[in-house]
Amino acid sequence: MRSSRGKLLSGLGATLCALVVAIAVSMGVGTRSIPLSTVVGSLFPFPPHDMDHLAVRESRLPRTALGVLAGAALGLAGAVMQGVSRNPLADPGILGVNAGAALFIVVGIDVFGINALNGYVWFGFVGAALAAFLVLAVSSLGRGGATPVRLALSGAAVAAALTSLTTAILLINVDAFDQFRFWRVGSLAGRDGSVIGEALPFLAVGAVLALASGRMLNALALGEDTARSLGRHVHRDRMWAALSVVLLCGAATAMCGPLAFVGLAVPHLARLVTGPDYRWILPYSMLLAPLLLLAADIVGRLAVRPSELQVGLMTPVLGAPVFVLLVRRRRLAEL
């Protein structure tokens, strides 16, 4: 047991080191490469006319910080969602978070004339939260409460309805579509520190709730009856888990737009190292997800230089082959 714990801690440390390397590369790579010494120097007072220092401080630092925070949030949210729904194919979108955020941002653009990212954050977060709670309310109706099957079906139905409303508004208002499409593609670029500051309290509370849910998710993985026999209050546990997903995924989606595949694939990658214990899956997912997100962003910057591909387009490109390999490996193990 001690040996296994030591290996897991060592793996966690190695993942953290890899994330630090990815952060350094993200700060130095772009339309032009910046030496590491210049990157470090930009973190301290520097001459205001130095363009490299300004590029790091004003553009790459917020972009990298956003990638770390959004990635950690999506990784944790995906792991919690798969645990609470006992569905290995679940991701945060099952609660209608992306669809709710998209609808409210379109409403903000169309009705209130919002055209800045700072406004998108609040509209997106409120929409994500209301959609998630609507899914939870619908799935809780009837005997047995919010079972995993009801949760998935309710999420699919609510997401489809919200997406239809969003499409209807966009078809009527072409200007809203022009603004919305830049958020919809999913990007870390063009965001500043104020967007991060507005979302940080939600991310912090959501991360604490998610990291504290390891034992609860382990109990739910054994089945509802077994969890109750172990003293768990299943419905209350699901509510706390859903709240953490709403806070994490809602804030990340509002900041960056919908980023596909991160919350789905990363928990499976973490399980290869940790096994089924959510006390380890959660911290590993919190570190592996920003590593994947920053890697996708770096590849997007380098692929078509001097232009770039947004990270929302790159995460499925990098994540899909990994996920296919994980699925094939699991199938072979089951034969």
The number of angstroms, rounded, from the C-alpha of 251 to the middle of its chain's C-alpha atoms is 9
CATH of the domain at 289: 1.10.3470.10
Q: Is 103 part of any domain?
A: yes
DSSP string over 4-60 = HHHHHHHHHHHHHHHHHHHHHHHHH-SSS---HHHHHHTTS---TT-HHHHHIIIII
Residue 51 lies in a domain: no
Amino acid 130 reads: L
Residue 301 inside a domain? The answer is yes
Residue 240 domain-assigned (yes or no): yes
What DSSP string runs through 224-278? HHHHHHTT--HHHHHHHHHHHHHHHHHHHHHHH----SHHHHHHHHHHHHHTT-H
User: What residues have CB less than 8 Å from 306, skipping those under 6 apart?
Assistant: 31
Q: What is the C-alpha to C-alpha distance for residues 115 and 108, in angstroms, rounded to an integer?
A: 8
How much is the pLDDT for 330? Answer: 57
| Closest C-alpha to 310, from 66, 15, 6 | 66
| pLDDT for 334 | 44
Does any domain span residue 4?
no
Which range marks the domain in which residue 102 is found?
13-26+34-39+60-334
d(CA 301, CA 331): 35
Number of domains in the chain: 1
Q: Is residue 279 situated within a structural domain?
A: yes
pTM of the model: 0.88
Below-70 pLDDT ranges, the chain: 1-3, 46-48, 117, 142-146, 323, 326-335
Neighbour count for residue 153 (Cβ, 10 Å): 15
Residue in 140, 46, 131 with CA at minimum distance from that of residue 94? 131
pLDDT, residue 3, reads: 58
Q: Residue 172's pLDDT is what?
A: 85
Determine the pLDDT at residue 164.
92
The DSSP code for 141 is S
Type of residue numbered 221: A
Contact call for residues 280 and 274 (beta carbons, < 8 A): yes
Assess if residue 76 is contained within a domain: yes
Position 251 in a domain? yes
Give kind and range of the element (H or E) at residue 75. helix 61-85
Is the omega angle on the peptide bond into residue 321 within 30 degrees of 0, that is, cis?
no
